[in-house]
Structure 1
Amino acid sequence: MDTARLAEDLREQTAGFARAVAGGDPDAEVPTCPEWRLRDLAGHIGHAHRWTAELVHQAADAPIAAPAADDPGPQDTWERWLTEGAEKVIDAVQEAPAGARVWSMAGPTPPMFWLRRMLGDTVIHHYDAAATTGAPFDVADDLAADVISEGMGLLAEPSAVRFKPELAELRGRGETIVIRPDSGQGWVITRTPEGIRCERGDGDGDVVVSGPVTELMLVFTRRVPARDVTGDRALLDHWLTHTSF
């Protein structure tokens, strides 16, 4: 996806998220993130967008300070506040000079990395908001596929184990997990002695998870249980346990 498409989708997904959280009880527990209330979810997205925009704006070569709290303010301001945050990310990325680099957990990276990262985060939390308030949730198949690819790329990044030590438990001896969507190309995850390898591809594996691509996106972000699994279910459960955030 190019910058224009990522920006369009971030606007759309943030707007859907904003409508969902603005229409619910701010103190409702988020069933897919039970440690959070709805107001925490709104605050997380709004502040994550603003933190990202400032990181890119500064072309920072190290993480910048995060907000002291995720307070989103009065609920009747949430929709405007959230959509403004998404625009700040888009503006910062689009205004970055050619060749700009900014800190990321994977090392110095073009600013578009953060536009894609915020889109993936927003898509999943849009689902969380919809699951809390009963609002509609919709995501295009190619966007759901990109959320999977982006997430798998982060997990396979060698430096990721510094931020999430549990990923070291996913080193293996060549065991494979196949993500097989109903249409389009799938993903093959291989557990090697050096770490995780994830590639686009098809075929059989030690365990295969099949289904619509949006459902698979939600399975591998631990929002819904896998329904169509063949092979070593324990291998899948181990993966999901050690990739939870």
Structure 2
Amino acid sequence: MASLEDDRYYSALNAEAERFANVVRETDISRQVPTCPEWTIAQLTEHIGEAHRWVTAIVERRATSYLPPEEVDDIPLPSTAEECASWLRSGAARLSAVIREAGTDTPVWSWADDQRVGFWLRRMVHETAVHRADAQLAAGGTVAMDADLAADAVTEWLGFASSPALAARRPELAELRGDGQTLHFHATDDGLGDAGEWLVRRTPDGVVWEHGHVKADVGVRAAAVDLMLLIMRRIPADDPRVQVVGDHALLGHWREHT
């Protein structure tokens, strides 16, 4: 379940789309994206814009079963950077408005355990933010993000990794079962408290996790945004912004299978 207030997610969705759009407007959209090597910035933009429009349709139709994306009426991605930026902004703005109208507790289909509109609001915030980071890295920029949002992205990701339903469908998640190995992630930003610390345990039944400060087999410290980028394999474990203490191989195995 979400750990931030709805209004925080609404503002973040539009802000992240705006940041993404600014990168698109100022960058050669034919440039390859190193962290998504099969895509250009134009294709990355198309992916996010189509995701926004697909989720908008799910919420508008109150879909309680899978809605094939090809059934969604869509406006094709424009050809110029300026038009692409506007297309991205408009899709995010409409998504935000449709979710507000529906309410976050309204039941709709999702591929996760949480079958509410609120799942999609949170998911689209973090999907947009991570791919905004991809675009910024491709453009040669640095990635900044509010600590509470980056920490929430980590929490959401761990929720996916620890979901039995997802593990049943994703063989790589099933590989995270273990016999008690532990990982501790610690965001060094001020003000996060327990929301910035995560203890992950690999059990025979799967991954479990909780917030808290506990010594683990491997400990990872970084700013929340850098923890997010590390966990989502946007930066390597030996990045100078990241401090790893303990079993590096355990961290490597975790990243390979999430």
> Same fold, TM exceeding 0.5?
yes
> 1:95 and 1:126, CA in 2 relative to 1: closer, same or farther beyond 3 A?
same
Q: 1:69-84, aligned counterparts within 5 Å?
A: 72-75=77-80, 76-84=82-90
RMSD of aligned alpha carbons: 1.9
Alignment partner of 1:152 is 2:163 = no
Q: How many Å separate the matches in 1 of 2:219 and 2:116?
A: 34
Alpha carbons of 1:124 and 1:97: their partners in 2 closer, same or farther (altered >3 Å)? closer
Of 158, 162, 171, the residue aligned with 1:165 is 171
Distance of 2:108 and 2:34 partners within structure 1: 34
The 5 A counterparts of 1:66-105 are: 66-67=69-70, 72-75=77-80, 76-96=82-102, 99-105=105-111
Shift of the 193–8 alpha-carbon distance from structure 1 to 2, 3 Å rule, reads: same
Change (3 A) 1:107 1:217: closer
Q: Give distance in 2, aligned partners of 1:21 and 1:134.
A: 13
In terms of mean alpha carbon deviation, does 204-213 or 128-137 score higher?
128-137
Alignment partner of 2:244 out of 225, 229, 244:
229
Cα-to-partner distance string for 1:36-83 (whole Å, 9 max, x where unaligned): 111110001100011011111111112211249996221231121111
Is 1:40–1:71's contact at 8 Å kept on the other side of the alignment?
no
Which deviates further from its counterpart, 85-94 or 95-104?
95-104
Match of 2:66 in 1: 63
Structure 1 residues 97 and 118: CA distance shift in structure 2, 3 A: closer
**2:104–2:117 CA contact under 8 A, matched in 1:** no
Q: Which amino acid aligns with 1:239?
A: W
Could you tell me which amino acid in structure 2 is paired with residue 112 of structure 1?
Answer: G
Q: CA deviation at 1:108?
A: 5.4
How far 1:106 moved relative to its partner? 2.3
- Please identify, of 31-40 and 177-186, the stretch whose mean Cα deviation from structure 2 is larger: 177-186
Aligned to 1:53: 56
Return the TM-score normalized by structure 1: 0.93
1:111-147 superposed Cα distances (whole Å, 9 cap, x missing partner): 1110100001111111100011135642111111011
The answer (yes or no) to whether the contact 2:110–2:116 under 8 Å persists in 1 is no
Residue equivalent to 2:199? 188
Separation in structure 1 between the aligned mates of residue 213 and residue 154 of structure 2, nearest angstrom: 15
Alpha-carbon offset, residue 164 of structure 1: 2.1
Q: Which residue of structure 1 aligns with residue 17 of structure 2? A: 14
Question: Which residue, out of 19, 29, 32, partners 1:26?
Answer: 29
More divergent stretch after superposition (54-63 vs 122-131): 54-63
Q: 1:31 and 1:132 mapped to 2: Cα distance?
A: 6
Structure 1 unaligned residues grouped into runs of 5+: none
**Closer, same or farther in 2 for the Cα pair 1:97/1:182, shift >3 Å?**
closer
CA distance in 2, matches of 1:92, 1:192: 40
- Following superposition, the deviation at residue 157 of structure 1 comes to 1.3
Comparing 231-240 and 106-115, the one that deviates more: 106-115
Higher deviation after alignment, 193-202 or 114-123: 193-202
Between the aligned partners of 2:23 and 2:103, the Cα distance in structure 1 is 35
- Percent identity, aligned pairs only, is 37
Distance in 2 between residues matched to 1:98 and 1:173, nearest whole Å? 38
* 2:135 is the counterpart of 1:120: no
Q: Structure 2 regions of 5+ residues with no counterpart?
A: none
Q: Partners of 1:101 and 1:60 in 2: how far apart?
A: 8
TM-score of the superposed pair, with normalisation by structure 2: 0.88
Corresponding residue pairs, total:
243
